[in-house]
């Protein structure tokens, strides 16, 4: 068994495996597949039902289960959700495991996976990766003024 | 229309995001579809060689007790009871179900037909370069119930046969 507490290592090694097999294109193809399959019954369903509050519900559950160090704010009236990740549990672990070299563009999956779900639902997704080498990042999700696609 | 704020520290929660089991299941299926069963084994071997390098070193240095401690730790994290019988030359691990398989079912996913490689390919890779060999004695695809054994590769064949017969009797 690969414990859920060890999954992050398997995830990072998967990206390396795919890149060796088919370059960045193969990694992106997996991220797209994964977004469609993994997030459609969770994040997508919640956002369709509850709008920006669905984002809050999704990240409240996952970030607590992942024991993240974060601050999250939602303003439903303005349609904005912000997350400041002070210490990402995934990247943090990868950096702590000194014997393991993380996939170089590991944090990019958070950009691809969530953007792919949220933009078609009428949200703008801004992801700041400038400090991911310290396991820190931030994201802002804003409701666009136009109606989302169905 | 609410304004909400949440601040959490890592120490506020236990790290246990079980949906990662479903994520791994999808990853295995993606690799299987694009690179076949050998691709899945190759990927899991790469993961095990990289991530479990310290465990492999420990297995070489301290013997099977290193694996015993490791399995006790990770199954406890997954809230799962296991049975371990460990001597200097052999370790047998029995589970009534795999917590990963159980959670994949709970998520409504179809379990990858190669999910058992998360035992076979991974444990086999952990044993590479050590005096020990690995055998997945039995595995139930529906539940992940399994019997696994690690044994001294220099163990005489007669002993291995006796050991297998004992396991067979226990299973019945």
End-to-end Cα distance, chain B: 61
Residue B12 lies inside a defined structural domain of this protein: no
Residue from the list B14, B26, B107 with its beta carbon closest to the beta carbon of A34: B26
Residue B91 lies inside a defined structural domain of this protein: yes
Chain mean pLDDT for chain B: 92
- Using an 8 Å CB-CB cutoff, list chain A residues near B31: 14, 17-18
Q: With 60 as the cut, is the pLDDT of residue B157 above it?
A: no
Strands (DSSP E) found in chain B = 3-8, 82-86, 90-95, 132-139, 146-152
Instruction: Select from B51, B100, B148 the residue whose CB has the most chain A CBs within 10 Å, as the one to mutate to test that interface.
Output: B51
Which residues, 6 or more positions from A51, have their beta carbon under 8 angstroms from its beta carbon?
Answer: A76, A79, A143
How many domains does chain B fold into?
1
- Using an 8 Å CB-CB cutoff, list chain A residues near B74: 1, 3, 5-6
Count of pairs with CB atoms under 8 A, one residue in A, one in B? 146
Nearest by Cα to B97 from B115, B109, B110, B114: B115
Determine the average pLDDT of the residues in B125-134: 97
Residue from the list A13, A87, A99 with its beta carbon closest to the beta carbon of B10: A87
Q: Given an 8 Å threshold on Cβ–Cβ distance, is B15 in contact with A67?
A: yes
State what percent of residues in chain A have pLDDT above 90.
95
Measured CA angle at B134 (ends B132, B136), to 5 deg: 165
Q: What is the pLDDT of residue B158?
A: 47
State what percent of residues in chain A have pLDDT above 70.
97
Residue B75 lies inside a defined structural domain of this protein: yes
- Using an 8 Å CB-CB cutoff, list chain B residues near A101: 50
Q: Which range marks the domain in which residue A31 is found?
A: 7-143
d(CA A136, CA A129): 8
Residue A102 lies inside a defined structural domain of this protein: yes
Nearest by Cα to B20 from B131, B146, B109, B141: B109
Chain mean pLDDT for chain A: 95
Nearest by Cα to A83 from A122, A52, A119: A52
Give, as one character, the DSSP assignment of residue B12.
G
Q: What is the pLDDT of residue B160?
A: 56
Q: Within 13 Å, how many C-alpha atoms sit on residue A102's CB side?
A: 21
For B52, the enclosing helix (H) or strand (E) is none
Residue from the list A17, A64, A75 with its beta carbon closest to the beta carbon of B46: A17
- Using an 8 Å CB-CB cutoff, list chain A residues near B35: 21
Q: Which residues of B103-117 are buried (b: 16+ CB within 10 A; e: fewer)?
A: bbbebebebbebbbb
Residue from the list A10, A66, A100 with its beta carbon closest to the beta carbon of B17: A66
- Using an 8 Å CB-CB cutoff, list chain B residues near A62: 17, 19
Q: Which range marks the domain in which residue B95 is found?
A: 19-171
Q: Given an 8 Å threshold on Cβ–Cβ distance, is B47 in contact with A70?
A: no
* Portion 20-39 of A in contact with B at CB < 8 A: 21-22, 26, 30, 33-34, 37-38
CB B86 within 8 A of CB B71: no
Q: Given an 8 Å threshold on Cβ–Cβ distance, is B118 in contact with A2?
A: yes
Give, as one character, the DSSP assignment of residue B141.
T
What are the tens digits of pLDDT across the range B35-75?
999 999 999 999 999 999 999 999 999 999 999 999 999 99
Residue B137 lies inside a defined structural domain of this protein: yes
d(CA B92, CA B83): 8
Residue A1 lies inside a defined structural domain of this protein: no
Residue B161's pLDDT band (boundaries 50, 70, 90)? low
How many domains does chain A fold into?
1
Q: What is the pLDDT of residue B154?
A: 84
Nearest by Cα to A47 from A82, A79, A88: A79
Read off the CATH number of the domain in which A106 is found.
3.30.1380
Q: What is the pLDDT of residue A116?
A: 97
Residue B167's pLDDT band (boundaries 50, 70, 90)? low
Q: Given an 8 Å threshold on Cβ–Cβ distance, is A89 in contact with B47?
A: no
B111 token code pair: 């379990």
- Using an 8 Å CB-CB cutoff, list chain B residues near A37: 26
What are the tens digits of pLDDT across the range A34-77?
999 999 889 999 999 999 999 999 999 999 999 999 999 999 99
Residue listed under structure tokens 């998520």: B107
Determine the average pLDDT of the residues in B97-105: 98
- Name the more confident of B2 and A60: A60
Instruction: Select from B4, B16, B73 the residue whose CB has the most chain A CBs within 10 Å, as the one to mutate to test that interface.
Output: B4
CA dihedral A22, A27, A31, A36 (to 10 degrees): 0
Q: With 50 as the cut, is the pLDDT of residue B149 above it?
A: yes
d(CA B115, CA B105): 12
d(CA A107, CA A25): 16
Read off the CATH number of the domain in which B58 is found.
3.30.1380
Q: With 80 as the cut, is the pLDDT of residue A86 above it?
A: yes
* Portion 76-135 of A in contact with B at CB < 8 A: 76-77, 87, 89, 97, 99-101
Q: What is the pLDDT of residue B95?
A: 98
Residue B2's pLDDT band (boundaries 50, 70, 90)? confident
Residue B2 lies inside a defined structural domain of this protein: no
Residue B172's pLDDT band (boundaries 50, 70, 90)? very low
Residue A110's pLDDT band (boundaries 50, 70, 90)? very high
For B87, the enclosing helix (H) or strand (E) is none
Residue listed under structure tokens 């809050």: A56
Residue B14's pLDDT band (boundaries 50, 70, 90)? confident
């Amino acid at each position: 068994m690969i414990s859920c507490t060890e999954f992050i290592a398997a995830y990072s090694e998967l990206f390396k495996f795919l890149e060796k097999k088919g370059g960045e294109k193969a990694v992106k193809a997996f991220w797209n597949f994964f977004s469609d399959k993994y997030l459609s019954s969770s994040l997508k369903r919640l956002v369709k039902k509850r709008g920006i509050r669905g984002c809050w519900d999704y990240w409240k559950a996952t970030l607590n289960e992942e024991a993240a160090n974060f601050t999250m704010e939602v303003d439903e009236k303005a349609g904005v959700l912000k997350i400041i990740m002070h210490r990402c549990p995934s990247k943090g672990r990868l950096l702590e495991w000194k014997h393991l070299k993380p996939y170089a563009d590991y944090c990019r999956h958070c950009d691809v996976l969530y953007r792919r779900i949220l933009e078609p639902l009428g949200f703008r997704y801004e992801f700041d990766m400038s400090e991911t080498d310290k396991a820190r990042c931030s994201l802002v999700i804003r409701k666009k003024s136009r109606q989302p696609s169905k | 229309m609410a304004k909400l704020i949440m601040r959490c520290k890592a120490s506020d929660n236990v790290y246990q995001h079980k949906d990662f089991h479903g994520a791994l299941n999808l990853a295995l299926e993606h690799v299987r579809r694009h690179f076949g069963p050998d691709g899945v084994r190759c990927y899991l071997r790469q993961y095990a060689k990289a991530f479990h390098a310290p465990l492999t070193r420990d297995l070489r240095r301290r013997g099977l007790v290193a694996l015993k401690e490791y399995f006790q730790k990770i199954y406890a994290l997954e809230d799962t009871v296991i049975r371990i019988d460990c001597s200097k030359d052999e370790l047998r691990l029995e589970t009534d179900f795999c917590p990963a398989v159980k959670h994949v079912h709970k998520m409504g996913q179809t379990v990858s037909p190669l999910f058992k490689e998360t035992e076979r390919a991974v444990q086999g890779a952990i044993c590479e370069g050590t005096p020990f060999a690995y055998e997945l004695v039995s595995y139930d695809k529906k539940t992940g119930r399994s019997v696994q054994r690690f044994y001294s590769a220099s163990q005489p064949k007669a002993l291995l046969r006796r050991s297998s017969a004992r396991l067979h009797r226990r299973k019945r």
